[in-house]
C-alpha cells in the first residue's frame, strides 16, 4: 500500500478566502452602486467593485439548501465561468467555498452537510437516463459504471479532489487510498472520512510520481484527470497507474468539443485518441488487454492479467 501518510489526523475544513462573500438571493434585486459591476444569471448575482480582481466579490444565489451539493461546480462554471471572478479553478473554488460556508456558521456543519447531500444523491437508485444533465446525477452514473470495472478489493484513486468516489468505494468494503496534489482537498477528505466513520487513506502526491510502491493495489483509477494534463504528463500518469496496480488500471475522461477552462482542462479526448493511448500499452508494462468504451465520456481499462470479464462488464 502507500509508502507514506502525509496528513495530520486533526479535522480541517476550507474557510473563506476573503475574496468572495456569499448569501442567499432573496426579495427584490438590490440596488448596485455605480462603482460596482454586476452580473445576474439564473442562479446567481455576482457583484464586484470596479471589475477588479483585487476587490471582494459578492455572490448571491437562488438555490435551496438541498441543492447546495457538488452540482455547484458546474452551475458556477456554466453561469459565471466567463467572468473575471470565476475564470480560473482557484476562483471557481473560492465561489463554491463561500456558498458552502454560507449555509451554516459552523464550517464543520456546513461541509458535512455538503458531503451528506452529495453522497446521498450519488448513492440514490435512479434510471440511467434520468439525470437531465445534472452534474451529480451524471457522476452517480459514472461511479456506478466505474464500480463495475474495479477488480480486487484494494483501490488507489488518483486525482481524487473532494473524494466522493473513494468514500463510496470505502462504504462498500474496499480498501481505498486517495491521492491528490491539493493538500487541502486531501485534508478535507480525511476529515469527512473520519466523521463518517469510513476508512480512506489520503496522500498528497503527483499523478506522474505516485507515492506508492509498484503493485500496491489491485486496481488503480483516475476519473477525469488526463484532460488537465499535457501529452507528456498524461503518459507519465498512465505509466504510474499501470505500475502501482496488479490487475487493472482505469482511466475516464470527458468528451468535450473545447476544453473547459474554468475546470482547468487543457485537452479534449474522443474514442479514437483513447484507443491510440491504449494501443501504446498493449504488450508493455505487463498489459495484456486493452478495453475502450463510452459512458458519459470515454473509458480506458488496461488489464495486466487474462481474467475473464465479469457479467455486465465490457
Question: Half-sphere exposure of 93 toward its Cβ, with a 13 Å CA cutoff?
Answer: 13
- The residues, ordered by sequence, that sit 6+ positions from 250 with a Cβ below 8 Å of its Cβ are 146, 149, 150, 219, 220, 221, 222, 223, 241, 299, 300, 301, 302
Integer Cα distance of 191 and 166 in angstroms: 13
The number of folded domains in the chain is 1
Domain range for 194 is: 138-303
CA angle, residues 221, 171, 165, in degrees to nearest 5: 30
pLDDT tens-digit map of 269-304: 999 999 999 999 999 999 999 999 999 999 999 999
- How many Cα atoms occupy the beta-carbon half-sphere of 275 within 13 Å? 5
The pLDDT score that the predictor gives to residue 137 is 93
For the chain, the residue count is: 314
pTM of the complete model: 0.86
- Residue 26 cell numbers, joined: 432573496
Find the CATH number of the domain harbouring 256.
Answer: 3.40.50.150
Q: Is the residue at 81 inside a domain?
A: no
Torsion from C-alpha of 51, 52, 54, 60, nearest 10 degrees = 10
Summarised one tens digit per residue, pLDDT across range 77-96 is 888 877 755 556 677 788 88
Dist CA 13 CA 106 (whole Å): 10
C-alpha cell at position 41: 444569471
The pLDDT tens digits of the residues spanning 46-83 come to: 887 655 544 567 888 999 999 999 999 888 888 887 77
% the chain with pLDDT above 90: 60
C-alpha span between 111 and 76 (Å, rounded): 18
In this predicted model, what pLDDT tens digit does every residue of 209-254 receive, in sequence order?
999 999 999 999 999 999 999 999 999 999 999 999 999 999 999 9
17: in domain: no
| Domain assignment of residue 45, yes or no | no
Give Cβ neighbours of residue 29 (< 8 Å, ≥ 6 apart).
40, 45
Residue 126 lies in a domain: no
Residue 191 located in a structural domain: yes
> How far apart are the C-alpha atoms of 253 and 228, rounded to whole Å?
10
Q: What residues does 294 pair with on adjacent strands? A: 298
Q: How many CB atoms lie within 10 A of CB 3?
A: 12
Residue 190 located in a structural domain: yes
d(CA 188, CA 162): 7
Q: How many CA atoms lie within 13 A of 235 on its CB side?
A: 8
Amino acid at each position: 500500500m502507500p509508502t507514506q501518510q502525509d496528513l495530520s489526523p486533526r479535522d480541517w475544513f476550507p474557510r473563506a478566502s476573503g475574496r468572495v462573500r456569499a448569501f442567499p438571493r432573496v426579495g427584490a434585486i438590490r440596488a448596485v452602486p455605480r462603482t460596482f459591476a454586476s452580473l445576474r444569471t439564473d442562479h446567481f448575482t455576482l457583484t464586484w467593485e470596479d471589475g477588479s480582481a483585487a476587490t471582494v466579490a459578492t455572490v448571491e444565489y437562488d438555490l435551496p439548501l438541498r441543492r447546495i451539493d457538488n452540482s455547484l461546480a458546474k452551475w458556477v462554471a456554466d453561469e459565471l465561468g466567463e467572468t473575471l471572478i470565476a475564470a480560473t479553478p482557484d476562483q471557481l473554488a473560492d465561489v463554491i467555498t463561500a456558498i458552502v460556508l454560507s449555509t451554516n456558521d459552523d464550517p464543520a456543519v456546513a461541509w458535512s452537510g455538503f458531503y451528506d447531500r452529495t453522497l446521498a444523491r450519488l448513492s440514490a437508485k435512479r434510471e440511467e437516463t434520468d439525470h437531465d444533465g445534472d452534474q451529480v446525477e451524471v457522476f452517480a452514473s459514472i461511479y456506478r459504471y466505474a464500480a463495475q470495472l474495479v477488480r480486487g478489493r484494494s483501490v488507489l484513486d488518483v486525482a481524487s479532489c473532494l473524494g466522493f468516489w473513494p468514500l463510496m468505494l470505502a462504504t462498500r468494503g474496499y480498501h481505498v487510498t486517495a491521492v491528490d496534489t491539493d493538500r487541502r482537498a486531501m485534508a478535507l477528505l480525511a476529515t469527512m472520512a473520519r466523521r463518517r466513520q469510513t476508512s480512506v487513506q489520503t496522500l498528497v502526491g503527483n499523478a506522474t510520481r505516485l507515492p506508492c510502491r509498484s503493485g500496491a493495489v489491485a486496481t488503480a483509477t483516475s476519473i477525469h484527470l488526463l484532460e488537465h494534463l499535457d501529452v507528456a504528463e498524461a503518459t507519465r500518469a498512465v505509466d504510474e497507474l499501470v505500475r502501482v496496480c496488479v490487475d487493472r488500471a482505469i482511466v475516464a475522461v470527458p468528451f468535450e468539443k473545447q476544453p473547459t477552462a474554468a475546470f482547468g482542462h487543457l485537452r479534449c479526448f474522443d474514442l479514437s485518441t483513447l484507443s491510440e493511448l491504449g494501443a501504446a500499452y498493449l504488450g508493455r508494462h505487463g498489459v495484456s488487454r486493452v478495453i475502450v468504451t463510452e459512458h458519459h465520456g470515454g473509458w480506458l481499462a488496461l488489464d495486466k492479467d487474462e481474467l475473464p470479464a465479469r457479467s455486465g462488464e465490457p
